[in-house]
Chains A and B, each alone.
Chain A
Amino acid sequence: MLDFARLAGQLSDFATYRVGEDGAHAARLTRAVDALDECGPGWESLRDRAQALKGGVLRAIPTTAPHQHHGCGDRPATVTVVATDGSQIFPDRHVEPACYLLNVGRVAIHYGTLDPPLIQAEPSLRYRQQDLADLADDDAQASPLDLTAEVVSALRDELELHWLFETAAAERRSGRPVLAIADGTLIRWMLRGMKNRRLETELLARYVAELDRFREAGVPVCSYVSRPANAEVVNLLRLHLGEDDWSTAPDSLRGLHDRHLFEHRLAQGERSAVFLSRSEVLSQYGPHRIVAFYVHGCAEVGRVEMPEWVANQTGWLDLIHAVVLDQCDKGRGYPVILQEAHQRAVVRMQEKDVFHRILARQVRQSGGAVPSYSGKAASKLAPRV
């Protein structure tokens, strides 16, 4: 329960603090925009310096002059766009053996044609201990495999990419461009620092294997990050300005995000230069190092990521730019096809309850122990006065 009377003072302090922060933010922004223009000529040496530096904060490596911006060309009159999004029901510790559900929503829309769209969900119930054991066998050092939220999320990401390719491969038509759009980042940095190193390596290898399939089939794949919190381009500018990585100087650009910079630098509809990510996890991506550009859609600056080989293919950057912008227009700020994929993927609270009820009934019918609620869970279900 929230006592608003006692909170009031703190809320008003926060408002005062924000006003101060906004002022500082505006000053940082002006400095960053100037720095971006300034580092244009002779950008190659800045790139080389950034590339030579090891460790420290993440810095974007520009592939062209970083201050460049490009207008959007026409979207092809006909184009097939596919997208996936996923959700899950995490394992319930009351149910033995552990099981969990992955649900991937997948959508294909054939723009400019009368071909019917594909809008479908692919649920996948997983429960075999063997599946997990296969992920990281023969490792005596490994801690016992727990079905943590982290592992389940990683498997969901992998399944999303798996279905993204399957959908693109099945729905692409000859003579019509195709583009596969994933939700969120393609950089699986969250896999780093897992307790089980072997599992981490295996999960990454499997993710990269899915990317291989796109490359072999020649299907362009990208992802859209809404409200990106990256500061890699800002960190590049800090290098240009000679700022210390951990500087706390009042005029430091620290705290500024790339999207703040490009909200100012890009006109609506424009995209930025392409930057290579230096994320450590990409060392295991083989030929799929991830590059990104920012695009100013109708409601926000979003980040569009793709493997380097996609960006290097003639015409594909323009294709991605035009399709993503059209998607944001249609979705009033966020790609409409990702919205549809999300709608199919999401497992609602009510559906979660039904899932657990059916599961409990099945376990009961087959003579298993009936799952029960812990005292704490039960007290939340039926609070007393």
Chain B
Amino acid sequence: MPDPSPPVAEVIASNTREVVAEVYPGATVPAFGSWVEVETEDGTVLYGLTSHAEIGSVEPGRQAAALGADYDRDRIRREMPQILELVRTTVRAQILAYWDGRSRRDGRPVVRQTVPPRPAALHDRVQVCGPEAVAALAAPFDVLRTLARNPDPAVPADDLLAAALRNLSDAHGDEGDAILVEAGRALARLLDEDHERLQSILRRVR
């Protein structure tokens, strides 16, 4: 089921819970809360939710220093272009589901909403999930459970949940609102009926 969209990033650090990927120059950085997928060598497709993005120096020993107020973006491109070559964007994606190639009788893939048995390899390529893949990450919403119960401590969990719900809704087109209601119910149970928190998350979805 891998999406034929072009790769946007490449894995540079990996474990079963998450991957860190360097975004290719010129590629659009996967948005916070959007789904990405990595096809590993044995054909397993790992699904990760983009939970963090950062821009920094390629070389650990070299830090950015202010150029001065007279350097606007255009002047930097024309007069200090080497600086832009030394900068890279990396994203971190929490791996929340995988597909090992199995399908139902009706041909739809069986996406397991749990941590995969093995991590992605370094230099595996990362693609942005198409709507079909995102839609497969809906019911039974176990991905939401992992997000809510085992959040990445470095990420504001509720904002990530809100972004994930928004993408889920968008991927379902006309049925977006219906899926949101369904997901909201699942989330309410996960949050132990903490309605205030649930309302706060849902407000951020809109």
Give the chain A neighbours of B82 by CB distance below 8 A. Answer: 107, 109, 117, 119, 336-337, 340
Q: Is A375 on the interface with B (CB-CB < 8 A)?
A: no
Cα–Cα distance between A330 and B75 once the two chains are bound (Å): 12
B residues less than 8 Å from A340 (CB atoms): 82
CA distance A117 to B62 in the complex (A): 19
Task: Name B59's closest neighbour in chain A (CB-CB).
Answer: A343
B81 pairs with A116, CB closer than 8 A: yes
Report the nearest A residue to B62, measured CB to CB: A343
CA distance A116 to B80 in the complex (A): 11
Chain A residues within 8 Å of B85, by CB: 117, 119
Chain B residue numbers with a CB within 8 Å of A116 are 81
Q: Mark A114-126, 1 if CB is under 8 A from B, else 0.
A: 1011010000000
Closest CB in chain A relative to B109 CB, distance in Å: 41
B104 within 8 A of A: no
Are B77 and A114 interface neighbours, CB within 8 A?
yes
Binary contact readout A35-60 vs B (1 if CB under 8 angstroms, 0 otherwise) = 00000000000000000000000000
Tell me whether B206 is interfacial, beta carbon within 8 Å.
no
What separation, in Å, do the CA atoms of A119 and B78 have in the docked complex?
Answer: 15
Shortest CB distance B59–A (Å): 8
Chain B residue with Cβ nearest A119: B85
Q: Is the CB of A117 within 8 A of B81?
A: yes
| Whole-angstrom CA separation of A250 from B203 in the bound complex | 85
Q: Report the Cα distance A319→B85, complex, angstroms.
A: 26
B59: A residues at CB distance < 8 A: 343
What sequence of 0s and 1s flags, for each residue 63-79 of chain B, a beta carbon within 8 Å of any chain A beta carbon? 00000000000000111
CB-CB nearest in chain A for B81: A117
Q: Give the size of the chain B interface in residues (CB under 8 angstroms).
A: 9
Residues in B whose Cβ lies below 8 Å from that of A112: 78-79
Q: Are B80 and A114 in touch, CB under 8 angstroms?
A: no
Contacts A117-B85, A119-B85; A330 near B80 (Cβ below 8 A): yes
Give A222 Cβ to nearest chain B Cβ, in Å.
20
- Chief secondary structure at chain A's binding surface: mixed
Minimum Cβ distance to chain A for residue B27 (Å) = 16
A113 interface contact, C-beta 8 A:
yes
**Residue contact B79 to A114, C-beta cutoff 8 Å:** no
Judged by a CB distance under 8 angstroms, whether A111 is at the interface is yes
Nearest CB of A to B71, in Å: 10
Q: In residues 44-97 of chain B, which contact A (Cβ within 8 Å)? A: 59, 62, 77-82, 85
A337 and chain B: residue at smallest CB distance: B82
CA–CA, A109 and B80, complex, Å: 9
Q: Which of A111, A336, A337, A343 touches B78 (beta carbons < 8 Å)?
A: A111
Q: Which residue of A lies closest to B67 (CB)?
A: A330
- Cβ–Cβ < 8 Å partners of B62 in chain A: 343
Contact with B along A341-360 (1 / 0, CB 8 A): 00100000000000000000
Measured between C-beta atoms, what is the minimum distance from A326 to chain B in Å? 9
Nearest residue in B to A107 (C-beta to C-beta)?
A: B82
Query: A330 vs B81: C-alpha distance in the bound complex, in angstroms?
Result: 12
Give, as a whole number of angstroms, the nearest-CB distance from A272 to chain B. 27
**Using a CB-CB cutoff of 8 Å, which residues 6-26 of chain B contact chain A?**
none
Distance in angstroms between the alpha carbons of A43 and B62 in the assembled complex = 49
Closest to A77 in B: B78
Smallest beta-carbon distance A32→chain B, Å: 36
Q: Which residues of A contact B79 (CB under 8 A)?
A: 111-112, 330
Report chain A residues within 8 Å CB of B80. Answer: 330, 336
Give A174 to B80 CA distance when docked, in angstroms: 22
CB-CB under 8 A from A119, the residues of chain B are 82, 85
- In the complex, which residue of chain A has the Cβ closest to the Cβ of B79? A111
The 0/1 profile, CB within 8 Å of B marked 1, for residues 68-111 of chain A is: 00000000000000000000000000000000000000010111
Question: CA–CA, A119 to B81, complex, Å?
Answer: 10
With a cutoff of 8 Å between Cβ atoms, the chain B residues found around residue A117 in the complex are 81-82, 85
B179 CB to nearest A CB, Å: 44
**Chain B residues with CB below 8 A from A110, complex form:** 81
**A111–B59 alpha-carbon span in the complex (Å):** 24
Bound complex: CA of A49 vs CA of B182, how far in Å?
98
In whole Å, how far is A290's beta carbon from the nearest beta carbon of chain B?
28
Q: Within the complex, what minimum Cβ distance (angstroms) separates A65 from chain B? A: 35
Give complex CA distance A337, B80 in Å: 10
How many angstroms between the C-alpha atoms of A336 and B78 in the bound complex?
14
Cβ–Cβ < 8 Å partners of A336 in chain B: 80, 82
- Which chain A residues (302-334) contact chain B, with CB distance < 8 Å? 330
> Which A7-50 residues have a C-beta within 8 angstroms of B?
none
Q: Which residue of A lies closest to B78 (CB)?
A: A112
B85, chain A: closest CB distance, angstroms:
5
Assembly CA distance A100 to B62 (angstroms)? 28
| Residue from B59, B78, B80 with most neighbouring chain A CB atoms (10 Å) | B78
Chain A residues contacting B81 (CB-CB under 8 Å) are 109-110, 116-117
Q: 16 A–B contact pairs at CB < 8 A?
A: A107-B82, A109-B82, A110-B81, A111-B78, A111-B79, A112-B79, A113-B78, A116-B81, A117-B81, A117-B85, A119-B82, A330-B80, A336-B82, A337-B82, A340-B82, A343-B59
3 cross-chain pairs, A with B, having the tightest CB-CB distances, nearest first: A117-B81, A340-B82, A112-B78
Give me 7 other A-B pairs in contact (C-beta within 8 A), A109-B81, A330-B79 excluded.
Answer: A109-B82, A110-B81, A111-B79, A114-B78, A117-B85, A119-B82, A343-B59
